[in-house]
Amino acid sequence: MCASVAAAPDDDRRVRLIEDFLDPRWQAARPKRVLALHRYTDWADGLALHAATSRTGRSLRQVERRIRLWAGQPLRELRGFGRAERAFFEAMESEDGQRPPWSGLATDAGYSDQSHLCRVSRRITGCTPA
């Protein structure tokens, strides 16, 4: 891979070769969850990483300020949205014409219990999970 990247005629081709090399390895190492469950969580984690590695002032407070400035929400809230998204996707997958097991679904998504899931869902969407 290194030799082919060095011999590539331009930067676009080099980036493509590196991506083609890394993508299958990254997919193999990634947790086996449905890709839809990763959307918001991956975005929030990427934003946090970018905030932590950009500019001077890398203290935790500076990173939190950058995230709030860029996204309009604190990282804690963004991660909460990711957890809610995961719970919603898992609920959609588990429905076979029946109600999903909310208590198990809530704990699997990282909530303390079913009522915690319901409160957060109502706060984010205005509706209960059902």
Q: Render each residue's pLDDT in the chain as its tens digit; 130 residues.
A: 889 999 999 999 999 999 999 999 888 876 665 555 568 888 888 888 888 888 777 788 888 899 999 999 998 888 888 888 888 877 877 766 677 788 888 888 888 888 898 888 888 888 877 7
Q: Report pLDDT for 20.
A: 92
Q: Report pLDDT for 74.
A: 92
Q: Look at residue 1 and give its three-state secondary structure.
A: coil
Q: Report pLDDT for 35.
A: 53
Q: How far apart are CA 77 and CA 125, in angstroms?
A: 14
- On the 0-12 / 13-18 / 19+ scale of CB atoms within 10 A, 10 is exposed
Q: Report pLDDT for 52.
A: 87
Q: Report pLDDT for 130.
A: 74
Q: Report pLDDT for 127.
A: 83
Q: How far apart are the first and last CA of the chain?
A: 50
Q: How far apart are CA 49 and CA 75, in angstroms?
A: 11
In this prediction the pTM is 0.61
